Chains A and B, each alone.
Chain A
């Protein structure tokens, strides 16, 4: 069974640009969550999608948005990039929502803002 696939693996952008990251969950998994990981900060929750609907949202500005398609694939978009957006963006999928569902992570997209 293929794992969670994130593309691209690495991305370099400049301030003010926008970026779209892609995540393909494990087949059969319907819940997709996105996280931002920076050194010393741990994983910061961005949002969760289930059945093409955003079910949960973290404490990030509106520049961060996402969506989920009918095949459960998800995209995350960041507009008007800032230097502080440089981070590893991780996508995780699980079969369903709720407590007790282990999340399976992709290798992430490392975004660098110049």
Chain B
């Protein structure tokens, strides 16, 4: 079956580094997205990984290992505004159609 797992909640300290993991089991995998969603707001695009390795974008980096079915989002120099839910989503081939399978999201709480 199609499945994506990520921790429900994480807590980190302002200025620190946090890694949010995402594991997936999907057929016809063709890339993984990370989105950020602040409470009461729309999800916003952070990154897309299709090849193995690390992609860095400012304070945020995303890593993918296709062989392990594993990705993580790394947030550096944490700021209070980074308190949000982080959603990972994998493209899966289902019934000849690509469909995004979403994780339930990781709520990140930043403490001063």
- B45 x A103 contact (CB < 8 A): yes
- A100 x B48 contact (CB < 8 A): yes
- Chain A minimum-CB-distance residue to B88: A42
What is the CB-to-nearest-CB distance from A13 to chain B, in angstroms, rounded to a whole number? 20
Residue with the greatest number of chain B CB neighbours at <10 A, chosen from A33, A44, A98, A105? A105
Q: How far does the alpha carbon of A97 sit from the alpha carbon of B99 in the complex, in Å?
A: 10
Q: Chain A, 12-42, contact with B by CB distance < 8 Å: what is the 0/1 string?
A: 0000000000000000000001010000111
Give the interface size class of chain A.
20 to 34
Q: How far does the alpha carbon of A105 sit from the alpha carbon of B104 in the complex, in Å?
A: 17
- A40 x B104 contact (CB < 8 A): yes
Q: Is A66 an interface residue (CB 8 A)?
A: no
Residue with the greatest number of chain B CB neighbours at <10 A, chosen from A43, A100, A102? A43
What is the CB-to-nearest-CB distance from A34 to chain B, in angstroms, rounded to a whole number? 12
- B45 x A102 contact (CB < 8 A): yes
- A42 x B43 contact (CB < 8 A): no
- B102 x A42 contact (CB < 8 A): yes
**Contacts from B to A (Cβ < 8 Å):** 8, 30-31, 33, 41-45, 48, 50, 87, 89, 91, 97-105
Q: List 16 A-B contacts (CB under 8 A).
A: A4-B42, A33-B100, A40-B104, A41-B104, A42-B87, A42-B102, A56-B97, A56-B98, A58-B99, A90-B43, A97-B98, A99-B30, A99-B98, A102-B48, A103-B100, A108-B42
